[in-house]
């Protein structure tokens, strides 16, 4: 069975600073990887996804993530954050054979002025 671990429950950062949100996964079969964002009192919105091909994936709002198969990681990065990026971020993995999407525990990004 697959699993996802987000290594940081909270990440405080100052506005315009770079940020990295870490995600590791485990699976015995090939996977698709996703990052979702959840703003307060809202549903989840897709940030980006990795299906195959280039390991560097660009998403919305200036976010990008890099798939590292040897380290089974899919870390999310942004070079310069804004106050509006304050939200909860979820990493998720979906295997091609089951279709189930399993989420990590979430990381709260707190951008301070």
Partner 1 sequence: NAGVTQTPKFQVLKTGQSMTLQCAQDMNHNSMYWYRQDPGMGLRLIYYSASEGTTDKGEVPNGYNVSRLNKREFSLRLESAAPSQTSVYFCASSEPRGSGSPLHFGNGTRLTVT
- Do residues 16 and 113 touch, judged by C-beta distance below 8 A? no
Closest to 81 (Cα-Cα) out of 38, 22, 40, 20: 20
Contact predicate 38/45, CB 8 Å:
yes
Which residues, in sequence order, are bridge partners of residue 34?
Answer: 49, 92
Number of residues in contact with partner 1, rule: CB under 8 A? 25
Supply 65's token pair: 């993530």
73 binds partner 1 (CB under 8 A): no
Smallest distance from the beta carbon of 103 to partner 1, in angstroms?
A: 4
Q: Which of 71, 80, 84, 98 touches partner 1 by CB under 8 A?
A: 98
Verify binding: residue 34, partner 1, rule CB under 8 A. Answer: yes
Q: Which of 17, 26, 105, 112 binds partner 1 (CB under 8 A)?
A: 105
Nearest to 95 by CA among 7, 37, 25: 25
Contact region for partner 1 (CB under 8 A) — 12-20, 61-69, 74-82, 100-108?
Answer: 100-108
Residues that bind partner 1 (CB under 8 A): 6, 9, 32, 34, 42-46, 49, 51-52, 90, 94, 96-106
């Amino acid at each position: 069975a697959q699993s996802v671990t987000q290594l940081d429950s909270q990440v405080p950062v100052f506005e315009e600073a770079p940020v990295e949100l870490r995600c590791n996964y485990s699976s015995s079969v090939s996977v698709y990887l996703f990052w979702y964002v959840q703003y307060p009192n809202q549903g989840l919105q897709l940030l980006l996804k990795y299906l195959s091909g280039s390991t560097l994936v660009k998403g919305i709002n200036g976010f990008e993530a890099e798939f590292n198969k040897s380290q089974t990681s899919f870390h999310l990065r942004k070079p310069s954050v804004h106050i509006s990026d304050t939200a909860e971020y979820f990493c998720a993995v979906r295997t091609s054979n089951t279709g189930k999407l399993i989420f990590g525990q979430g990381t709260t990004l707190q951008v301070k002025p």
